[in-house]
Amino acid sequence: MYEYCERHGVSHEQCGKVIVAHRAAELPALDELERRGRANGVAGLVRLDTEGIAEREPHCRGVARLHSPDTGIVDFAVVARAIAGELLQQGVEVATRTPVTGVTAGRGRVALRHAGGETQARLAVFCAGGESDRLAEMAGAPPDPRIVPFRGAYLRLRPERRHLVRSMIYPVPDPALPYGPPLVADRRCAGAQMPSPQPPSCARRPPTSPSWVRATSSHGSRECARRRWAATAPWWMTS
């Protein structure tokens, strides 16, 4: 991706990521993240000691940290436009603002029905965000796993505080509540930012769509929403 961005003049930053364990109870999960990263060939992974974290993120505290120096940030909308430009130059049709309403797969072909008619191809990759599971199900995939959409919002640190974050700082994810807010230094956006806690029902899907109803009516979704509400409501209701 870095090579592609350089070749096409796409703004990006290889700032690295630090995953921080704040308590000893989080160490097994951090060990598992490191194991998975190495198994998947993530380059440069290293556990940071106190001296190492002081050099990279002097204001970060924790009992252990995992550093991924090759992780970076990019505006993927710009990347997508660059890819679309390449495809157009090769004579490929690019259709935007064209919601897919139906999918038929069979005999080595995939037919996508949309407002502009029908597009056929040998294969289709459903990179559709919160609607990916709906499109996959149209193509014959099972209904599970299901996407449970959540909205994130960003707060910008004051200019005099932006030096506190140099890269991306993430907490060790908790499978029971995997929405901990990271700190992200994004110089393209004029400084460090932090996603603020949000009510769990803020889905990007229309709240009356069948896929939204299915996603939010499951027991797992309700339990996750309950825990998220309990964890964040006192903070954002009083801020």
Helix (H) or strand (E) holding 155: strand 153-156
- Going from the C-alpha of 4 to that of each of 1, 15, 147, the distances in angstroms are 5, 17, 29
Cβ(211)–Cβ(177) below 8 Å:
no
**Has residue 33 been placed in a domain?**
yes
Range of the domain at 216: 2-75+148-221
**Has residue 215 been placed in a domain?**
yes
- Going from the C-alpha of 233 to that of each of 99, 181, 221, 223, 228, the distances in angstroms are 35, 14, 17, 15, 8
Condensed to tens digits (0 to 9), the pLDDT of residues 200-237 reads 444 445 554 554 455 555 455 555 556 555 554 444 44
Condensed to tens digits (0 to 9), the pLDDT of residues 158-206 reads 888 888 888 888 888 877 665 556 666 544 443 445 544 444 444 445 5
Q: Tokens 């120096």 map to which residue? A: 69
Residue 180 burial class via C-beta count within 10 angstroms: exposed 0-12, middle 13-18, buried 19 and up:
middle
**Has residue 48 been placed in a domain?**
yes
Condensed to tens digits (0 to 9), the pLDDT of residues 132-164 reads 888 888 888 888 888 877 666 667 778 888 888
Look up the pTM and report it.
0.67
Sequence-ordered list of residues with C-beta below 8 angstroms from that of 118, at least 6 positions apart, any chain: 111, 112
**Has residue 38 been placed in a domain?**
yes
pLDDT computed for residue 65 by the predictor: 92
Domain CATH number, residue 33: 3.30.9.10
How many separate domains does the chain show? 1
**Has residue 118 been placed in a domain?**
no
pLDDT computed for residue 230 by the predictor: 54
**Has residue 66 been placed in a domain?**
yes
CA 171 to CA 179: how far, in whole Å? 9
Among the listed residues 167, 163, 5, the one whose alpha carbon sits nearest the alpha carbon of residue 74: 5
Higher pLDDT, 142 or 130: 142
Relative to beta strand 17-21, strand 100-106 is: unpaired
- Residue 17 confidence (pLDDT) above 50: yes
**Has residue 143 been placed in a domain?**
no
**Has residue 63 been placed in a domain?**
yes
Condensed to tens digits (0 to 9), the pLDDT of residues 38-81 reads 999 999 999 988 788 888 888 888 889 999 999 998 888 899 99
Among the listed residues 184, 197, 117, 105, the one whose alpha carbon sits nearest the alpha carbon of residue 150: 197
pLDDT computed for residue 51 by the predictor: 80
Helix (H) or strand (E) holding 222: helix 219-238
